[in-house]
């Protein structure tokens, strides 16, 4: 039976003490969870949350990282620093990074390659805006983000990559793509990946859905054949809303 990959993106929320409290609660309540579970606290809380998660199966993730290993890059956090703290995965190309901080596909790709070089699992986020969807550009936009995001990734490294499909209009809005709509985009992404890496690699690829995932839609979304997990924002900020998602079956 496949296991699903459920990730909580805490975004720019929580002090260190609040992050530790949530991580402790999740460690207690998700001890026997059969899914792959990850939490991505803010950079400032990574070290403390890493300490809490020791001995637990919950993976530690980061929400972003700089595109260089080290150097004169004021304000950036490097892959080496993340690894040093025990981070195992990193969310890259989140739509908030792409749209608010103007991260390009090229920059996101550079980060994907750097994460893989150092053994971190990238979660590559892709997704269209409402304007792009309504303008019939969904496949062009998402297809480009997938192709450019994966440029130079070897077939062996693809196995460490997760793609998160997050329609921008569904993030934090309470609007969710219908399970059917989401599944259709996931199938499209899988087809694009099959074109690049072959059918077997595409079939094995984990594609998460993100955008207003809640306890009451998680099972319907992940019940679809092409939806292999969830990237959860708002509902990941409390154990009472995140635990039911991670334990949806």
Provide the CA 192 distance to its chain's centre, in angstroms.
19
Binding residue for ligand PGA, selected from 150, 234, 239, 242, defined by CB under 6 A: 234
Place of tokens 């950079």: 43
Nearest approach, Cβ of 115 to ligand PGA (angstroms)?
17
Asked if 65 is part of the footprint of ligand PGA (rule: CB under 6 A), the reply reads no
Measured CA to CA, the distance from residue 44 to residue 158 in angstroms comes to 29
List the catalytic residue out of 35, 94, 132, 186: 94
Which one of the spans 59-67, 76-84, 190-198, 231-239 is the region binding ligand PGA (CB under 6 A)? 231-239
Among 212, 222, 226, 245, binds ligand PGA (CB under 6 A): 212
Does residue 233 touch ligand PGA according to CB under 6 A?
yes
Q: For the CB of residue 38, give the shortest distance to ligand PGA in the complex, in Å.
A: 12
What does the alpha-carbon distance between residue 144 and residue 172 come to, in Å, rounded to a whole number?
Answer: 24
User: Is 94 an annotated catalytic residue?
Assistant: yes
Closest contact distance (angstroms) between CB of 156 and ligand PGA is 27
Q: Which long-range contacts (CB under 8 A, 24 or more apart) does 128-133 make?
A: 128/167, 128/168, 129/99, 129/168, 129/169, 130/168, 130/169, 133/167, 133/169
Interacting stretch for ligand PGA, rule CB under 6 A, among 112-120, 135-143, 188-196, 226-234? 226-234
Q: Collapse the DSSP code of 244 into the 3-class scheme (helix H, G, I; strand E, B; otherwise coil) and give the result.
A: helix
Residues 146, 127: Cα–Cα separation, whole Å: 9
Question: Backbone dihedral region of 162: left (phi > 0), alpha (psi from -120 to 50 degrees) or beta?
Answer: beta
Shortest distance, position 22 Cβ to ligand PGA, whole Å:
15
Residues from 156 through 175 that contact ligand PGA (CB under 6 A)? 166, 171-172
- Does 210 interact with ligand PGA (rule: CB under 6 A)? yes
Q: CA 6 to CA 113: how far, in whole Å?
A: 23
Q: Does 213 bind ligand PGA (CB under 6 A)?
A: yes
Residue selected from 5, 6, 9, 124 as contacting ligand PGA according to rule CB under 6 A: 9
At closest approach, how far in Å is the CB of 166 from ligand PGA?
A: 6
Binding flag, residue 92, ligand PGA (CB under 6 A): no
Among the listed residues 120, 141, 118, 121, the one whose alpha carbon sits nearest the alpha carbon of residue 129: 141
Q: Per the structure block, which two tokens stand in for 51?
A: 């300490």
Q: Using CB under 6 A, list all residues that contact ligand PGA.
A: 9, 166, 171-172, 210-213, 231-235
Residues taking part in catalysis? 94, 166
């Amino acid at each position: 039976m496949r296991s699903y990959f459920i990730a909580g993106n805490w975004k720019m929320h929580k002090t260190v003490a609040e992050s530790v409290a949530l991580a402790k609660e999740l460690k207690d309540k998700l001890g026997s969870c059969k899914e792959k579970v990850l939490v991505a606290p803010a950079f400032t809380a990574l070290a403390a949350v890493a300490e809490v998660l020791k001995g637990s199966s919950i993976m530690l993730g980061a929400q972003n990282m700089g595109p260089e290993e080290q150097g004169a890059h004021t304000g950036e956090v490097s892959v080496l620093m993340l690894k040093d703290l025990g981070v195992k995965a990193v969310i890259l190309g989140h739509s908030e990074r792409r749209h608010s901080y103007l991260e390009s596909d090229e920059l996101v790709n550079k980060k994907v390659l750097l994460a893989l070089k150092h053994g971190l699992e990238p979660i590559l986020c892709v997704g269209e805006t409402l304007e792009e969807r309504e303008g019939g550009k969904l496949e062009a936009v998402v297809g480009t983000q997938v192709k450019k995001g994966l440029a130079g990734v070897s077939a062996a490294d693809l196995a460490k990559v997760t793609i998160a499909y997050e329609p921008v209009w569904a993030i934090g809005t309470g609007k969710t793509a219908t399970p059917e709509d989401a599944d259709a985009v996931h199938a499209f992404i899988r087809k694009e990946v099959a074109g690049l890496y072959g059918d077997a690699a595409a079939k094995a690829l984990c594609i998460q859905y993100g955008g207003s995932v809640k306890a009451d839609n998680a099972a319907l979304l992940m019940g679809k054949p092409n939806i292999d997990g969830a990237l959860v924002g708002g509902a990941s900020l409390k154990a009472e809303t995140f635990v039911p998602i991670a334990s949806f079956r």
